[in-house]
């Protein structure tokens, strides 16, 4: 499904491309992709959700149609992605919005939903195969893969490598694989092929400081949902269980036949998302927790007192 519109948002010296489906729809969902992907991955989600949902799917700097940074140590960091995300919410005049994030996009959503200043912008949060703690072996595999250069003599070689590396997406038809390859390829000056992203995005593994994401997870007060690929190499069932303990209202589903991460491209994967998005809207998230109604404040602080710190 071809996007309906493309917005180009200037954030400091970078131009950020935002792919838009159903621009006149009454409801909005921000969908943010994973480490080395782009917003085009959400075309099938937009088709399945239908015309009542406007989908805004940014290309993170260094990916897809967005600018590459001249200063990766400054721009390819979660702290800067938060700045980019807030700028996009401001550009579209979104005071509160539902957020769906795959992998890196989910961690970014967690950072926003737990942020002291910006948490009120996230009305509800969906994490696609990501959580506050990730499997180290899977992380090492990702960092090793994306820090290595990838060059292919022919387009068909690139397409075969995509099928091998992204088997966890659960794609089950040739047309979808072909579309993925067409949207993932970039030609080099010598006529060979590589992937669409800036190879330096992998420097994020070097420059970004580790942080206690469990503390961020416990600080979230909006409704939450997590989707796990049954064969995920990054998100374990044990972590999902602990997420439930820290957020008793968490809704979780497991997608068979997928690893990291489900493509969210078919009714069986999208219908639980639709149900979560269309549940009775929660009380608007207050600008600060101190401004919340007393019963929300009491629930929040009671939960913090009863939950052991990491």
pLDDT confidence band for 307 (50 / 70 / 90): very low
Instruction: Kindly list the domain boundaries of the chain, sorted by start residue.
Output: 5-306
Q: Using one digit for the tens of pLDDT, what is the confidence trace for 211-252?
A: 899 999 999 999 999 999 999 999 999 999 999 999 999 999
Which tens digit of pLDDT belongs to each residue from 99-150?
999 999 999 999 999 999 999 999 999 999 999 999 999 999 999 999 899 9
The tokens describing 88, both together, are 């996009």
First to last CA, the chain: 43
For 42-67, how does the pLDDT look when each residue is reduced to its tens digit (9 = 90+)? Answer: 999 999 999 999 999 999 999 999 99
Q: Is the pLDDT of residue 310 over 50?
A: no
Residue environment code for 255-270, b if the CB has 16+ CB neighbours within 10 A, otherwise e: beebbbbbbbbbeebb
**What is the fold, at CATH topology level, of the domain defined by 5-306?**
Rossmann fold (3.40.50)
pTM: 0.90
* DSSP summary character for residue 152: B
Please compute, for residue 223, the number of CA atoms within 13 A of its CA located in the half-sphere on the CB side.
18
Which residue(s) pair with 126 in the sheet?
100, 225
């Amino acid at each position: 499904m071809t996007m309906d519109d493309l917005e180009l948002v200037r954030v400091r010296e970078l131009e950020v491309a935002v792919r838009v489906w159903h621009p006149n729809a009454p409801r909005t969902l921000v969908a943010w992709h994973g480490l080395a992907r782009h917003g085009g991955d959400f075309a099938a989600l937009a088709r399945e959700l239908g015309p009542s949902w406007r989908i805004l799917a940014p290309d993170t700097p260094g990916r897809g149609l967005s600018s590459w940074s001249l200063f990766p140590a400054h721009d390819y960091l979660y702290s800067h992605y938060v700045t980019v995300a807030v700028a996009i919410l401001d550009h579209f005049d979104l005071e509160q919005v539902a957020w769906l994030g795959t992998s890196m996009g989910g961690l970014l959503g967690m950072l926003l939903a737990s942020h002291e200043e910006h948490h009120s912008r996230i009305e509800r949060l969906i994490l696609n195969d990501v959580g506050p703690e990730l499997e180290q072996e899977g992380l090492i595999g990702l960092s090793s893969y994306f820090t290595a250069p990838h060059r292919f003599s022919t387009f068909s070689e690139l397409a075969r490598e995509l099928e091998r590396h992204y088997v966890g997406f659960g794609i089950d038809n040739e047309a979808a694989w072909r579309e993925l390859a067409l949207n993932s390829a970039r030609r080099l000056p010598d006529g060979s092929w590589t992937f669409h992203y800036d190879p330096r995005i992998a420097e994020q593994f070097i420059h970004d400081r580790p942080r206690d994401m469990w503390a961020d997870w416990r600080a979230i007060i909006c409704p939450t949902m997590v989707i796990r690929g049954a064969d995920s190499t990054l998100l374990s069932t044990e972590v999902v269980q602990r997420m439930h303990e820290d957020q008793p209202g968490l809704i979780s589903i497991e997608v068979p036949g997928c690893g990291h991460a489900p493509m969210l491209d078919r009714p069986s994967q999208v219908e639980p998302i639709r149900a979560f998005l269309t549940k009775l809207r929660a009380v608007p998230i207050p600008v600060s927790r101190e401004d919340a109604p007393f019963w929300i404040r009491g629930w929040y602080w009671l939960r913090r007192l009863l939950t052991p710190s990491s």
